Amino acid sequence: MSRANSNAFRISLVAFMIALCGILEMANSVLPLRVPWGMSIDFVALPVMIVFFILGTRYSIVTALGMYAVLCVIGFAGFVGSTMKFFATVPMVIVLGALTLTPLKDRVWPAMTYSSIPKYVLAAALALVARCAVASAVNYFWAIPIFFAMPIDQVIENMFFGSIWGFIAFVSGMNITQGVIDLAVAWIIVFGFGIGKRFAPKA
């Protein structure tokens, strides 16, 4: 029996990955990474994606909930940032998980479906679309008005020249950048280094 079929292993891995989320958040606050246009890049959600590939959707969402709790306590961006990180990450997990229910899935280990680069690129693109849609909606109706303490219409008028499409493009651009990093690095760690096969559950 694979170690990934052991409850002790699953609990230990999820607990470790939640703790790792906290460590990565603290590392980001000490040594922030920024792209040329000023956006901060982090690896906080990386453990969530790694758990998805090793244990599947359910345990990945549990890890995301743990990440959210940790970020609410020690997160650099506070409650709003923690909530946005959660709602940006979980849609990708849900989409990737849903696609493993299609006929293309690996019968023994559904997440192994994504060891195929073409399949993963397609699935990742759909996951990014979902992330951008959710992030845009949550930012529009909740996060941005709270963060700037002004109505969203005023924010769009002041910062995006009154263009809702400019707002969506801005939010999507940031989320695509971060999402690609989360998806690509997690894939490299799990499949590129062969970690996935080592812990693959057996039917």
The residue assigned the tokens 């969506």 is 168
Domains defined along the chain, listed by start? 3-199 (1.10.1760.20)
The stretches of 100-163 forming alpha helices (DSSP H) are: 117-138, 144-148, 152-159
Pair of tokens at residue 191: 């499949």
Pair of tokens at residue 4: 């990934």
- Give per-residue pLDDT as tens, 138-162: 999 998 898 888 899 999 999 888 8
Which of 161, 165, 104 minimizes the C-alpha distance to 140? 165
The pLDDT assigned to 83 comes to 94
Buried b (16+ CB within 10 A) or exposed e, 143-168: bbbeeeeeebeebbeeeeeeeeeebb
Q: Residue 186: phi, psi to the nearest 5?
A: -60, -40
- Give per-residue pLDDT as tens, 48-64: 999 999 888 999 999 99
pTM, full prediction: 0.89
Q: How many other C-beta atoms are found inside a 10 Å radius of the C-beta of residue 142?
A: 15
Least confident of 51-55, 173-177, 195-199: 195-199
